[in-house]
Chain A
Amino acid sequence: MQEDFWTYLMRQWQVFYFMSPFVLACQITALIICLKYWRNDKIYFRFFGYIITGIILFAVYNFAVYSLRIGNIENQKLPELLNVLFLIIEFLAFSAFLYVILKSPAVQAATRFFSVLFFAAIILLTVGIFNPLYPKKDTDQILSLIGCFELMYIGFLCLLYFYKLFKMPPAVNLSKSPSFWIISFSVLYTIVFPPITLLFDKFRIENKVMFRTIVALHYFSLGFVYIGITKAFLCKKPLTS
């Protein structure tokens, strides 16, 4: 008997202990709160709303393509290109945000340097995607590697934020500071998980239990990033305060 959509969906979600719907719920909550306080803030706080909308649509597309098998993706490059696009948007969003928050010439110079390296790697990856000599497995690994270093760089900037927090005069009300909440909830995800994600393929083949647990935990901590963004919106203050 062919199972219905909801049973199939539950089965898919159960694989990773329902962490996928948890992340989706966190994203939707963040988006709703962002829309509620849309008029409260300057343009650079609102950009998180656009980013989250894009991420949700991207997640829905990925689910449709990979889980529901809608559309023939065997010889198409679109899913891979969308993954690359997602990586670019994630990098631009967080590095721009931290670029504005940290306001240090050294950090800004380092971000510009890292951006050059990042986009050079992205261009090479994109060329590789369209080059039939490179199998999908290799381009996926390179994508994971770029994503890993990108997140680690953002994690480093998050730690730098805390260093600066205790160096500067304590003039900010931290519990009402949007940037504090976004960075606090992101620091674990950006530092701990990037190297672990490189081992996903290894675990998928060698240790399925570990693979399920790590992917689920990965989604779990990703959900907290959106909880942090939600809390930031609830502060109802400009992002740089």
Chain B
Amino acid sequence: MQKTSDELILFVFVAIGIIAVMMAFILTILFLYRKRQQEFEKNLARLKLDNEKAVLSTRLEIQEQTFQHISREIHDNISLALTLAKLNLHTLDWDNREKSAVKVDSAVELLTQSITQLNDLSKSLDADIIGQQGLLAAIEEERQRIEKIGTFHICYSVSGNPVYMNSQAELVIFRIIQEAFNNIIKHARAGTVSLALHYNNRTLQLKIEDDGAGFDTETILTGQHAGLKNMEARTQLLGGQMEINSRPGRGTTLNFTIPFETP
């Protein structure tokens, strides 16, 4: 009897030990995992916050660039034309009709030029066409506007099955293309520009190629070149990638890969 109860006590003790070990093991795993999970969530929240700050900073930077662009356009072109028109009207000689007529015609021409430039500036900033007719229609209109200036010829092509992306994303893509064209106008002295959009299963491949002056990518990218930085920032906003290929005297090719689903 004593022996049986000793055996039973031994069994009970070992059984309690097994339960204790098992519970300790499970609780330890749960505790350590929970701790790791909290660390992970904290890091995730921090990354998310950093990302949001980066996105906000990029948006503000882009906004600032746009304001600078408007300011430059007004100062360099429109303001100058209006000043000249004013000067012409201010210096009218009412005794000399012929000379005055020439000056008035010149002032009218300058005013017309200013109105056209203001209209063009307004149109280029107006995003309504994106919302109403989509990206491709906006690009076509921009192409026509630039070709009318006569700076270079644009070969425009679209392949694949066009996908409607949300208006915000299409607007950003449109601004990238505008920025690229602005850079070509200002720096490249190109004769022909090729603009190709290819829609595949999940991404839009955008290629802008010119036969202009080209540049040394290493020098340009380490400098403060707002246009390229702007395009890069806009591409990153969409979760896409930008690739620049250029050599002095060999033209420039910009390749963009933009996912349909923006992050």
Contacts and interface: CB of A to CB of B under 8 A. Distances in A.
Interface of A: 17, 162, 165-166, 169-171, 174-175, 180, 184-185, 187-188, 209, 212-213, 216-217, 220-221, 224
A224 to B, nearest CB: 7
Contacts of A174: 29-30, 33-34
Given A165-B33, A169-B40, A209-B7, A188 B15 contact: no
A180 B33 CA distance: 12
Given A184-B25, A184-B26, A188-B21, A217 B34 contact: no
A175 B11 contact: no
Give the bracket for the number of chain B residues in contact with chain A. 20 to 34
Contacts of A166: 32-33, 36
A170 B37 contact: yes
Interface of B: 3, 7-8, 10-11, 14-15, 18, 21-22, 25-26, 29-30, 32-34, 36-37, 40
Given A166-B33, A174-B29, A188-B25, 16 more contacts: A17-B8, A165-B33, A166-B32, A166-B36, A169-B40, A170-B37, A184-B22, A184-B25, A184-B26, A188-B18, A209-B3, A213-B7, A213-B14, A217-B18, A220-B15, A221-B18
Contacts of A170: 33, 36-37, 40
A217 B30 contact: no
B18 A220 contact: yes
A187 B15 CA distance: 16
A184 B32 CA distance: 14
Contacts of B22: 184-185, 188, 224
Contacts of B21: 188
B33 A217 contact: no
A170 B42 CA distance: 12
Contacts of A212: 7, 11
Contacts of A180: 29
A158 to B, nearest CB: 11
Given A169-B40, A170-B37, A170-B40, A213 B11 contact: yes
B32 to A, nearest CB: 7
B15 A217 contact: yes
A187 B40 CA distance: 27
Contacts of B34: 174
B10 A213 contact: yes
Given A17-B8, A170-B36, A170-B40, A175 B14 contact: no
A166 B10 CA distance: 36
- The B contact surface, by secondary structure, is helix
Among the interface residues A162, A166, A170, A213, which one has the most CB atoms of the partner chain B within 10 A? Answer: A170
Contacts of B40: 169-171
Nearest to A174: B33
A79 B32 CA distance: 45
A188 B15 CA distance: 12
A217 B11 CA distance: 7
A218 to B, nearest CB: 11
Contacts of A220: 15, 18
A162 B30 contact: no
A217 B14 contact: yes
Nearest to B37: A170
A219 to B, nearest CB: 10
A175 B8 contact: no
B254 to A, nearest CB: 36
Nearest to A213: B11
Contacts of B7: 209, 212-213
B41 to A, nearest CB: 9
8 contacts: A170-B36, A170-B40, A184-B25, A185-B22, A209-B3, A209-B10, A216-B11, A217-B14
A220 B15 CA distance: 7
B18 A162 contact: no
A166 B25 CA distance: 14
Contacts of B25: 184, 187-188
A169 B37 CA distance: 8
Nearest to B21: A188
Nearest to A184: B26
A175 B30 contact: yes
Nearest to A169: B40
A3 B133 CA distance: 94
B255 to A, nearest CB: 33
Nearest to B38: A170
A209 B33 CA distance: 41
Nearest to A165: B33
